[in-house]
Amino acid sequence: MKVFIVLTAVFGLALSDKPLGGYGAPPLSTYGAQPLGEYVSGGAGGALGGADGTLGGSVGALGGESAGNAASASGNGEGESPIPGVPGEDYPIYNEVPETSFSCEGQVEGGYYADPEAECQAFHVCIADGEGSLLKASALCHNGTIFNQEIFSCDLWSNFNCADAEGLYSKNEELAAAREEASAALAAAASSSGAAGVDSAASATADGSASAASAAAAAGGYGAPAPGDLP
């Protein structure tokens, strides 16, 4: 009898470790968000790749027909650039200053020069090197603009004919002459101011010397005669 009770207890414990019907809670590792890889591809309404996908579908906000329509709407309604003409044909589109034969030899110090060999998109500034020669510093106007030699600034390509650039190089000489005149005027003004300062200093020195002489005479007993000494 005792053996039967013991066996019954052991059997009961074995059954209590296993839920009825074999059902139990799934392992903890199966809980959590579904892996991202199962969400992002293939479905008709997938977040990234479906037919109506946000990025990649035929109506995608960035990659489909809607993207092209948005780009057109942001422009002038036709998807055209605000710069007139065809890039690379009507105006240059260099990414960097090209090598050309332009040299600063014989040019004006501080002068600005459009480079016709670079279709005037590139321009050069001639800078003194401190040893009697000129160094060439080069720059590039933004695409759609060229260096307008008439106003010494990058301008819309259609506003200036690059073929006229070399004929306007002499404007640098005019500017250089104007700079020299301005420098001379400033030097003259500074010189006049300095001379006036020297004259004022000399006058002040003379006045000071006279005052000192008067003081010395008074200290030596010299002064106006006493009233009783007058005839």
Residues 121-138: tens digit of each pLDDT: 999 999 999 999 999 999
Q: Half-sphere exposure (CA, 13 Å, Cβ side) for 48? A: 6
Residue 58 lies in a domain: no
Q: Which of 57-61, 65-69, 180-184 ranks highest by mean pLDDT?
A: 180-184
Residue 214 lies in a domain: no
Residue 120 lies in a domain: yes
Residue 213 lies in a domain: no
Q: Which residues contact 216 (CB under 8 A, 6 or more apart)?
A: none
Which residues share a beta bridge with 77?
none
Residue 221 lies in a domain: no
Report d(CA 96, CA 113) in Å as an integer. 17
Residue 33 lies in a domain: no
Residue 206, pLDDT score: 63
Count of domains in the chain?
Answer: 1
Range of the domain at 167: 85-189
Report d(CA 149, CA 138) in Å as an integer. 15
Question: Each residue of 208-229: pLDDT tens digit?
Answer: 666 665 565 555 554 555 555 5
Residues 153-167 as b/e (b if ≥16 CB within 10 A, e otherwise) read: ebbbbeebebeebee
Residue 45 lies in a domain: no
Question: Each residue of 86-134: pLDDT tens digit?
Answer: 999 999 999 999 999 999 999 999 999 999 999 999 999 999 999 999 9
Is 28 in a helix, a strand, or coil? helix
